[in-house]
Chains A and B, each alone.
Chain A
Amino acid sequence: MLNSNSEHIIRLEDLEDYLKPKEILLNSSEQELVLACANGKAAAQKRVYELFAGKMLNICRRYAKDKDHAQDLMHDGFIKVFMNIQSFKGQASLQTWITRIMINNSISAIRKEVRKGIKVSLEDIQIAESEIVYFELEDQQNLSATEVFKKINELPLGYKTVFSMYVLDGYTHREIATELDITEGTSKSQLAKAKKMLARKLREAQ
C-alpha cells in the first residue's frame, strides 16, 4: 500500500501502465512524487499528470467553451502546477492543490469573456440568493452523471461559470464577485437563472 497516511492515495492499479523508472513509479509516496517533480523528473511529472488529468479535465470542462478549450486550460494549469510544485507544502492533498490551481487558472482565462457575456437587468439583481429551484427527480432516474455534466456544459458561459463556482467548487457569492469582477447581485442572479435553465433541461432529458 502506497502512502497510506496521506489524504490522497495512489492506487497500485493506476501504476500498471508505468514501468520506467521503477524507483519512481512503483515505490513513491505523494511526497516523493512531488519532490521528483520539483527536481524536473519527467517520469514523475508524467505520472502525476496521468493520475489527475482525467479529473482535472472535467473541472476545466465546466469552465471551458468546448473540449479543446478545456484541454488547453488543463495544460496551462498543469504547467503552473509543475512550475510551482516546489511551493506545495502538503497542507492539503496534492489533488486538492492541483484542483485549486485548475479552477483559478480556468477562471482567469475566461474572466473577460464571462464578464462580456453577462447581461444583467435590474430584475435579475432582485432575484434572491435563497430562491430554491425545486427539482423533483428521483435518484434512480436514468440520467447518468455524464448526461448531467453534459447539460451543465450546455449552459451559457456566464451561468455555467457562476453555477460551477458556487455549487461545485464552494465559492461564496462575494468570492465569485471578486474573482469575476462582477457584483454580488449579478452573481446571485446568474446562479438563479442557471438553476432554472438547468432544471428545465434536465426535465426535458428525462
Chain B
Amino acid sequence: MNKKFTDIEDFIREKLSFLDGAPTNDWADFERKLKRAVFLRRLKRATGVVGLMLLLFAGQQYFDFYTTQQALKAKSNRIEFSAKPTTSFSNQHYSASADGSLLDKQSISNSETAKNNSSSTSQNADYLAMANSDKDNLALKTTAQKNASAQAKKVQSKKATEEEPLVFEYSEKVTNISSTGLAYVDNLLNDYRRPTMDSESIVPSDSKDFFSRKTKKKIYISPLQEKDPWSYSLNIYPNFAFRKFSVDPNKRARLHSDFIDAMVNSEASGLNLNLGFEVNKRIGLITYVNTGVEYIRNSYLAEFDFVNFRNANIDYSTGEITSYTMRKDPNRIVFSNTNSFHYLNFPFSISHQPWASENVRINLEVGFSVLYFLKAQGSTIDYRNLEVIALSERDYRKFIGSSSLKIGLQYYVNPKLNVGLEPTLMYFTNSIYTEEYPFEVIPYSMGLNVNLQLKL
C-alpha cells in the first residue's frame, strides 16, 4: 500500500524511526576522557576547599593578631605592680594635704615602676615624701587602698614566690571616703603622672608570653622572620611547566590532518624564567598576603617531524579546510626552533607557613593572578597549510586569568635571603589563543619553581 506524505516532516520522522544506532567501539577512548574530567573536577574541588580553608585560617590569624594588638595596647594603658611581701600599702601613702584641703597629690610606692621609669619614680618619691610629712592629716582610704591593704595582709602570710601580681587600676574618682565624711574627692588622681610606656617597644618581648598563653598550640617563630609586617623582595625563579593540548572538536576543520599529532607534542612543555618584585604583608603570625608584578618568559622547543601526505584546500572566507589533494610524493617535514612567549603577571595570594624551624619553612600558598600578554617570538609551522610562519603573525588574547596552589619549602639563609622549592599547580581560566586556534589547551599547568628571594 502506498503512503503519501503531506509534509516532509512526517516522512522524515517515520523514516528515522527505523534508524538504529550503530554500535561503537570507542569505550577506551571515552574512558580516558572521563577519567580526565573526573580528575579535573576533583582538582577544582580540592583547590576550592584548600583555598577556602586557607582564607578562613588567614582570617582567624588576622583576627587573633588584631585582638592581640588591641589587648597589648590596653595592657600598656594599665599600671602593673608586683605586690611583693615587702611592699606596704598604708594610709600614709594616701594622704590629704596639711592645710585641710582635699587631697591633691597621691603617691604610689612601687619599686617595679621605679625601675621602669626613672622620672616617674622621682616624682613618686617626691609625692611620697610629701605624704609622709603630712601623714597626721586627713587620711583617705580609697577602694583600691582597702583592697591593697587586704592584699598586703594576705601576701604577708604567703611566701614571696607564691605571690600574685596586684594590678592597680587607674581610676579618676575616689568613692570610699574616710569616716570623717569631709571629703568629696574628685579628680583625685589628676596629677598623677603614669609611667610612660612605649607600646611598640614592649610588643616583641611581651607578645611572646601573651601568645603562648592565648593560643592552644605554640607557634614557632623563626628568629629569621621579618620583624616588619611589610616586606619587599626581588624574586628570580625558573619554572618548568607542563601543559597539555588537545584538538578542539569544533575546529577540527581548521587543522591539517597530517599535522595533528605533531602539533600536540610540540608545545606540551617549556621552561619559564620569571623575575618579580613582590610585596608581602604579614597579616598573622605566620600568614602573609602577597602581591606584586612578575615578568615571565615562557620558552619551549618547537620540534616537528612528520610526513605530509596531502595538500589542504582551504576556504579562506571561513578559514576551514574543505578538502585535501593527495600528493604524488609524501613530503617529510622536519622543523626545530626555540620559541618564547612573554608576559607580565600580576599575582595576588595568601600564604601560610604551618611549620618552621630556624632556617626552613613550609609554605602553603593559594591565589590568583592576571597575566598580560606582551609578545611572542619565534616561528612555527602553520596548522593549515604547513608553511613556516612567525609566531607574531598569530592573534593572541591580551589577558589570561589563573588560580594557583603552591606547596613549597623555603630555606632562609638569613632574614634577607631565602631559596625556595615549590611544586606549583595552576589552573587557567582561558588561554592566550583566540577562537581561531584549533587546539584546546588543557587549562592547568604543573610546574616546579626554584625560587631565589632577596628581601629589600
A interface residues with partner B (beta carbon < 8 Å): 40, 42, 45-46, 49-50, 52-58, 65-66, 68-69, 71-73, 75-76, 78-79, 82-83, 109-110, 113, 132-140, 143, 145-146, 148-149, 152, 167-168, 195, 198-199, 202
Report if A71-B26 is in contact (Cβ < 8 Å); known contacts: A65-B253, A145-B15: yes
A54, B38: Cβ atoms closer than 8 Å: no
| Min CB–CB distance B19 → chain A (angstroms) | 4
B2, A167: Cβ atoms closer than 8 Å: no
Q: Which 4 A-B pairs have CB atoms at the shortest separation, nearest pair first?
A: A54-B21, A72-B249, A55-B21, A139-B3
B interface residues with partner A (beta carbon < 8 Å): 2-9, 11-24, 26-27, 29-31, 33-34, 37-38, 41, 249-250, 252-253
Kindly list 13 other residue pairs between chains A and B, CB separation below 8 angstroms, not including A54-B20, A133-B7, A143-B15. A53-B26, A58-B21, A65-B252, A65-B253, A66-B252, A68-B252, A71-B26, A109-B249, A135-B11, A138-B3, A145-B19, A199-B8, A202-B8
B16, A195: Cβ atoms closer than 8 Å: no
B250, A46: Cβ atoms closer than 8 Å: no
Report if A132-B7 is in contact (Cβ < 8 Å); known contacts: A42-B31, A53-B24, A54-B20: yes
B13, A138: Cβ atoms closer than 8 Å: no
A83, B8: Cβ atoms closer than 8 Å: no
A168, B21: Cβ atoms closer than 8 Å: no
* Bound-complex Cα distance A52 to B13 (A): 20
Contacts of A198 in B (CB 8 A): 8, 12
- Residue from A45, A69, A75 having most chain B Cβ neighbours under 10 A: A75
B7, A57: Cβ atoms closer than 8 Å: no
A134, B6: Cβ atoms closer than 8 Å: yes
Contacts of A149 in B (CB 8 A): 16, 19
A83, B37: Cβ atoms closer than 8 Å: yes
List 20 A-B residue pairs with CB atoms under 8 Å apart, sorted by A's residue number.
Answer: A45-B34, A53-B21, A54-B21, A54-B23, A54-B24, A58-B19, A65-B253, A69-B252, A72-B249, A73-B249, A75-B29, A75-B30, A76-B249, A78-B34, A109-B250, A137-B4, A139-B3, A140-B2, A145-B15, A167-B12
Of B5, B16, B29, the contact of A137 (CB 8 Å cutoff): B5
Residue of B nearest to A59 (CB): B21
The dominant DSSP class at the B interface is helix
B9, A57: Cβ atoms closer than 8 Å: no
Contacts of B6 in A (CB 8 A): 132, 134-135
Contacts of A143 in B (CB 8 A): 15
B19, A135: Cβ atoms closer than 8 Å: no
A139, B2: Cβ atoms closer than 8 Å: yes
Report if A79-B37 is in contact (Cβ < 8 Å); known contacts: A49-B30, A198-B8: yes
| Min CB–CB distance A95 → chain B (angstroms) | 11
A152, B33: Cβ atoms closer than 8 Å: no
Contacts of B13 in A (CB 8 A): 167-168
Contacts of A49 in B (CB 8 A): 27, 30
Contacts of A139 in B (CB 8 A): 2-3, 14
* Bound-complex Cα distance A56 to B26 (A): 13
* Bound-complex Cα distance A69 to B8 (A): 27
B18, A133: Cβ atoms closer than 8 Å: no
Residue of B nearest to A194 (CB): B8
* Bound-complex Cα distance A68 to B305 (A): 25
B4, A168: Cβ atoms closer than 8 Å: no
* Bound-complex Cα distance A168 to B253 (A): 26
Residue of A nearest to B435 (CB): A112
Residue of A nearest to B18 (CB): A145
| Min CB–CB distance A140 → chain B (angstroms) | 7
Residue of A nearest to B24 (CB): A53
A135, B7: Cβ atoms closer than 8 Å: yes
Residue of B nearest to A47 (CB): B27
- Residue from B6, B15, B252 having most chain A Cβ neighbours under 10 A: B15
* Bound-complex Cα distance A42 to B38 (A): 12
B4, A136: Cβ atoms closer than 8 Å: yes
A168, B26: Cβ atoms closer than 8 Å: no
Residue of A nearest to B25 (CB): A50
Residue of B nearest to A147 (CB): B15
Report if A148-B16 is in contact (Cβ < 8 Å); known contacts: A69-B249, A79-B37: yes
Contacts of B24 in A (CB 8 A): 50, 53-54, 57, 71
Contacts of B16 in A (CB 8 A): 145, 148-149, 168
| Min CB–CB distance A125 → chain B (angstroms) | 21
Residue of A nearest to B32 (CB): A75
| Min CB–CB distance A71 → chain B (angstroms) | 7
* Bound-complex Cα distance A133 to B23 (A): 34
| Min CB–CB distance B314 → chain A (angstroms) | 16
